[in-house]
Every structure is written in structure tokens, then in C-alpha cells.
Amino acid sequence: MCNYLLTSSKRLFYFSLFTTTAIIFQVSLYAQTADGNNGLAQANAMVRGYYETDVQLMYAIGAIMGLSEP
């Protein structure tokens, strides 16, 4: 049971890492089409907005996993 949870948490970590990387890549592509400082400011704001959502999602998943622990 413990190995399954460890595997599940690793899977969650890699999924979160992939999602964050994909978001940053998408934002950087969007920033390249905008003009200099304005594009960077927009990309920064977008990444910070997604970060809060990801943190809340991680807390929720962690709480559910904690409740399922015997």
C-alpha cells in the first residue's frame, strides 16, 4: 500500500511538473508575439495566476491522499 502511494505521489509530482512546464512554454510563446516589456509583464502575471491555482489543487490532492491513509 505504501509503495502505491509513493508511486501515486511521484506521478502527481511529474504531472504537476509537466503541466507547469507546458504553461510556461505557452506563456513564453505568447510573450514572444507581444512587445518587449509589456509581453514580459503579461507573461509574469499569467504564470503567477496559474501558480496559485496549482498550489490550491496540490493542497486538495494532498488532503485527499492524507484522508485515505489508514
* This prediction's pTM: 0.37
State the number of CA atoms in the 13 A half-sphere of 21 facing the CB. Answer: 6
Mean pLDDT score, 4-30? 76
| Whole-number Å distance between alpha carbons of 19 and 63 | 20
What is the domain extent for residue 50? 2-68
Nearest Cα neighbor of 26 from 43, 49, 51 is 43
pLDDT score at 3: 53
